[in-house]
Chains A and B, each alone.
Chain A
Amino acid sequence: MELLPQALVDGLMLGAIYIIIAVAFSLVYGVMHVIDFAVGEWIMFGAFMGFHLNRLTGIEPFLLLPAVFVVFAGVGYLLQPVLQRVLSGKRGNPLLMALVFTFGLSLMFRGLAQTFFGFYSLSTPSRLSTGSFFLERGSFFLTVSHVRLAGLAYAAVITGGLQYLLKYTDFGLGVRALAQHKDAAGLMGVNAKRTSGLVYAIYVGISAMTGVLIGTILSVSAKMGPEYTIFAFFVVVLAGMGYLAGVPAAAFLLGIIQSIFLIYLDPGYTLLAVFGVLYLILLVSPTGLFRKGV
């Protein structure tokens, strides 16, 4: 029991990272109706870029975040038209084809990463990861490393930034209009092509940036992708599809499940536990934790 507060706090900090991934993920889903299977691979690529830039230049990984964002947003912006082409194909089930397409990409990315970055698990060093706060009350104690706190701050900044972008800018208004009704938004003068491209770019950029963070807090490896794809999906389904306000609770739940398994049980069972929880919740309430999903 002494470790319980530690498990909860660790879980909350992991959850903060999952919020970011899930919000970007659902943003793309809202606008393009695409589930990107490659989300975990964007995270992985971002993490590797952070790792190698840090090794080459010695710059603190947190300062590298903007550079990673810019590079991957560019990649996303260039890739989006291809995805759009699949989506607007004249075939019966374009959404299924888009899913298959991103799945193919994820497979290819994972293979490329294994070829170029090797099979080993690495970790990006950060000056913040050496320090930590230590609390003790009776038999309970708690360690909070600086790097995890910085992760929490990052999560708050990104969520706030996205909130501002969506609620208070013309671009955000266009995004929300597009998510509501594509054709009508087009008639009202929203440039659907450009807006979807930018949304996809923002999503890829944010995912890659979050990857850098995961690389400093947890680890980087060429095979890390699928785990995060599953987590992103878990959070979105648990929150209720299309119900963004449910995302934080679902993300924190996932983080806590993960850290409890890490501390008390075998971490090898994490995915099984994740699937088990998802299974039970869907069985009881198919529209997510809050019954607010679609």
Chain B
Amino acid sequence: MRDRRLVGSLAVFAALLLVPAAVHDTFLLRVCTEAIMWIGLAVAFDVLAGYTGYLNFGHSAFFGIGGYATAILMARGWGFAPAAAAGGVVAGVGAIVAGLPTLRLRGAYFAIATWALARGVQQLALMMTLTGGPDGIRLPPFLQPRFFYYVMLGVVGATFFLLWFLLERAPFGLKLKAIREDEQGAKALGLDPTRLKIQAFVLSAIPTAVLGGVFAYWVTFIDPASALGDLVSDQALVMVVFGGMGTLIGPVVGAVLIFAFKTVFWAYLSEYEVLYVIILGAAIAASVVFLPDGVLGQLLHRRGPTRPATPAPRPVPAAGKAEG
């Protein structure tokens, strides 16, 4: 079953490689490029949210760190590829540094700690001269839509299949799920939760930052509002929840659906920016109540159990014991 899904994903990936040959409209190609970027951001978000059970609202911070690192290094004469890779490294180190104390916090507190981190980083970018303050940084323009399509697809494809191997094939994914289900129990089985959580955090931060770097070079401009705003985390969260948490295909489905909605919404109702946020919030709350397994989970249940049923529900945790 899993193999069939992997084959399916590879087929979709191969089909996506052919898109620029068929699509000549620049706007459409642009939409496709951004959709692929969001797939990557949603999948990376799910490593921590779906597999490990930790909500990382610092997602936007890592996206922005990657973008800013790329912009700053390219302004100093670096090439694009080494600059974007360096952005990934910076974010990876940042994830270790930030994760060390915050991942000791239980799930919910971790979520707010990373939220504070994201806002702190945004404030820092607004204040520092290195980042150009509120004006942001301009990058040398490189107007090659196809180049960016393939770079985005390459980064997201590599991320997706690497994560597929690590989370669905290698024991690593099972270890993370063990932490999600019961952190104390995982510890009793000899796992080192802190170490694993930090590994997951880094694994989620690096592709996010690289995508941030590609994004910055693509749009040739980055500022604290666009690259470090809440929207990156919020949108990644709604994509993951709507599509189906704890799987790799779910976030992809969610990203495509939500991004399609966003594109249509912005095309016709761009003056109602706040309405979009309201809909986003309502979509998050409603999918938790009505689609707890996401769109994907809902479809799979309709067709009958095609995979081993989800683990039996845990009894309501006793007092003093929070989620793992």
Contact = CB atoms under 8 A, between A and B. Distances in A.
Contact of A286 (B98, B101, B108, B123): B101
A230 B277 CA distance: 20
B105 interface: yes
B280 A92 contact: no
Interface string A254-294: 00000000000010110110111011001100100000001
Nearest to B280: A107
Among A103, A236, A276, A286, residue most surrounded by chain B Cβ atoms (within 10 Å): A103
Interface string B292-324: 110000000000000000110110111110110
Contacts of A114: 274, 277
Interface stretch (B23-31, B111-119, B149-157, B258-266): B111-119
Given A101-B285, A230-B115, A271 B123 contact: yes
Give chain B's interface residue range (CB within 8 Å of chain A).
35 or more
A148 interface: no
Contact of B289 (A35, A85, A96, A286): A85
Dominant SS among interface residues on chain A: helix
B318 A35 contact: no
Interface string A83-104: 0011111111111111111011
B319 A179 contact: yes
A209 interface: no
Nearest to B324: A93
Given A115-B278, A233-B112, A271-B116, A101 B288 contact: yes
Contact of B288 (A104, A237, A266, A269): A104
B217 to A, nearest CB: 27
B116 A92 contact: no
Contacts of A172: none
Contact of A97 (B117, B234, B288, B318): B288
B116 A275 contact: yes
A18 interface: no
Nearest to A231: B116
A241 interface: yes
A274 B53 CA distance: 25
Interface string A158-200: 0000000000000000000011111100000000000000000
B187 interface: no
Interface in B226-267: 234, 237-238, 241, 246
A156 interface: no
Contacts of B109: 35, 233, 236-237, 241
B319 A92 contact: no
Contacts of A279: 98, 101-102
Contacts of A110: 277, 281
A172 B100 CA distance: 38
Contact of A105 (B106, B126, B275, B281): B281
Interface centre among B53, B124, B313 (most CB of A within 10 A): B313
B282 interface: yes
23 contacts: A34-B108, A92-B180, A92-B314, A93-B181, A95-B108, A96-B53, A96-B55, A99-B55, A100-B237, A101-B285, A104-B288, A107-B280, A108-B280, A110-B277, A111-B280, A115-B274, A233-B109, A237-B109, A237-B113, A241-B109, A271-B120, A275-B116, A283-B100
Given A110-B277, A275-B120, A278-B113, 15 more contacts: A37-B111, A95-B107, A95-B323, A100-B55, A103-B111, A103-B237, A107-B234, A107-B277, A108-B278, A111-B281, A115-B274, A180-B319, A234-B116, A241-B109, A282-B101
